[in-house]
Amino acid sequence: MIFSKKLLALLALVPALAFANEGGFPLEKAPDRSHNMAALQNGAKLFVNYCLNCHNASAMRYNRLRDLGLSEEQIKNNLLFTGEKVGEMMTTAMPAKDAKAWFGTVPPDLSVIARAKATPSNSGSDYLYTYLRTFYKDDNRPTGFNNMVLPNAAMPHVLWELQGVQSAKFEEVDDPHEHGKKMHKFAGFEQVKPGTMSKLEFDTAVADIVGYMEWMAEPAAQKRKQLGVWVLIFMTIFATLAWRLNASYWKEVK
């Protein structure tokens, strides 16, 4: 069943090109969804329902979702809500000037966000997977939520109905860098209000969303990798034949 579209969508998944620093919150490995068509289809559904009200994915057309095994009829009936055509780009109906007036910034385009968040030590998928699962209740923030990966994030926790509300527990420990000084160390989350999904279900849903965003950043990635394997096989066979031909030629010369 398709989730009803939310009035409140992602304001800003992450501020432009902000990366988690090396000493920040540890990122968890995102599950691999690259070969799971059902998961990618579910991720596309969640992405359309929870992201496209405010964000654009202007490098992606709806009809490209046929690569995920969806027919044009399925795309039209389940993923188009405001009169878009199957061949159109995945864009929001919200004018950029209105977004800036309401939120103070234009929500970033998410077409290649999974690639943009990648670092030498972590993939962009790891960043997004951890980020979307580490919102916690913080009454001092305008949205009522904060985030462990990106402290003071502007984005509200739009998936809270699915995850529920969790609080972050901190303990006071000695600062290893300054003698005699104390610091707050993260000690885990505590569920305050249950969501419509269990923890496993929510983690799975987030993995599907992130998997879709990773696919969206390079839809041809799997075909490219498959083609690369065949090219290597061809080059190996060609090199072997060339080597044997070269050996045979010089044998006759001698």
CA 227/CA 238 separation, integer angstroms: 16
| Whole-number Å distance between alpha carbons of 94 and 205 | 26
Helix H or strand E segment including 61: strand 57-61
Q: Per-residue confidence of the chain (254 residues) as pLDDT tens digits?
A: 444 444 334 434 433 333 344 458 999 999 999 999 999 999 999 999 998 877 889 999 999 999 999 999 999 888 887 667 888 888 887 777 877 776 667 788 899 999 999 888 888 999 999 999 999 999 999 889 999 999 988 888 989 999 999 999 988 887 777 777 877 789 999 999 999 999 999 999 999 999 999 999 988 766 666 677 777 887 888 788 888 787 777 776 65
Longest dimension (CA), the chain: 87
Q: Is the dihedral of CA 214, 114, 204, 41 positive or negative?
A: negative
Of 104, 189, 207, the C-alpha closest to 145 is 189
